[in-house]
């Protein structure tokens, strides 16, 4: 992809969820090794010079990760920025995507293993209008210690999840709020 723009209002929660779903789909179906916004940062002065628009509200700026309004001093992370963050804050360079399945077609799951750091990260998207309890089973991997995470809902982005113990060395459960995106990460047991 050479350009990533025009998904909807840049600060709308639905735009964020659409980008989170797109990232999941690009990783799964296109086996994309990375995902980027159109521009890392875009500002009102550039918008006025390039497009002759007087604001940063249109879907033409949505593909930018951060928007800066010099008139008001506002610096906003866009929906695409928050969606990328659900992976980038938990999945580090060198990690690999691993197979992750959901028995609910409205809950999409991406998972990543990082052998160098000894970690695992899981990014589920709940597309249901109701909360869902997601049970994660790890085949051939074991967890060591507590898991942590963060969730984005219509009331806030990247809200921390308190550390919690897995159900067993190879399984844990997490509650996904309605229409939410969650990131959960933890340490893996080192092979003997």
Residue-range domain boundaries for the chain: 13-85, 92-188
Is the CB of residue 183 less than 8 Å from the CB of residue 149?
yes
What average pLDDT does range 14-21 have in this prediction?
95
- Cβ-Cβ contacts under 8 Å for 143 (sequence gap 6 or more): 120, 166, 169, 170, 172, 186, 187, 188, 189
Q: Which CATH class is domain 92-188?
A: mainly beta
pLDDT band at 7 (very low <50, low <70, confident <90, very high): confident
Residue 38 binned pLDDT confidence (cut-offs 50, 70, 90): confident
pTM of the model: 0.92
Give the model's confidence band at 39: pLDDT under 50 very low, under 70 low, under 90 confident, else very high.
confident
- Residues whose CB is less than 8 angstroms from the CB of residue 75 and which lie 6 or more positions away in sequence, other chains included: 66, 67, 68, 69
Here the tokens at position 110 are 């991406």
**Confidence label for 124 from pLDDT (cuts 50, 70 and 90):** very high
């Amino acid at each position: 992809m050479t350009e990533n723009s025009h998904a909807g209002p840049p600060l709308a929660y639905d735009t964020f969820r659409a980008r989170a779903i797109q990232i999941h789909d690009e990783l799964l179906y296109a086996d994309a090794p990375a995902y980027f916004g159109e521009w890392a940062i875009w500002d009102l002065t550039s918008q006025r010079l390039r497009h002759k628009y007087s604001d940063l509200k249109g879907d033409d700026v949505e593909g930018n990760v951060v928007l800066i309004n010099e008139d008001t001093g506002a610096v906003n992370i866009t929906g695409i920025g928050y969606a990328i963050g659900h992976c980038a804050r938990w999945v580090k360079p060198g990690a690999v995507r691993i197979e992750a399945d959901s028995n609910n077609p409205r809950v999409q799951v991406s998972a990543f293993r990082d052998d160098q750091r000894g970690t695992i990260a899981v990014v589920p998207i709940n597309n249901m209008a109701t909360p869902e309890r997601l049970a994660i089973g790890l085949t051939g991997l074991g967890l060591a210690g507590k898991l942590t995470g963060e969730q984005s809902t219509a009331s806030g982005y990247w809200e921390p999840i308190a550390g919690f113990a897995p159900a067993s060395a190879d399984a844990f459960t997490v509650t996904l709020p309605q229409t939410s995106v969650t990131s959960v990460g933890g340490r893996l047991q080192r092979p003997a």
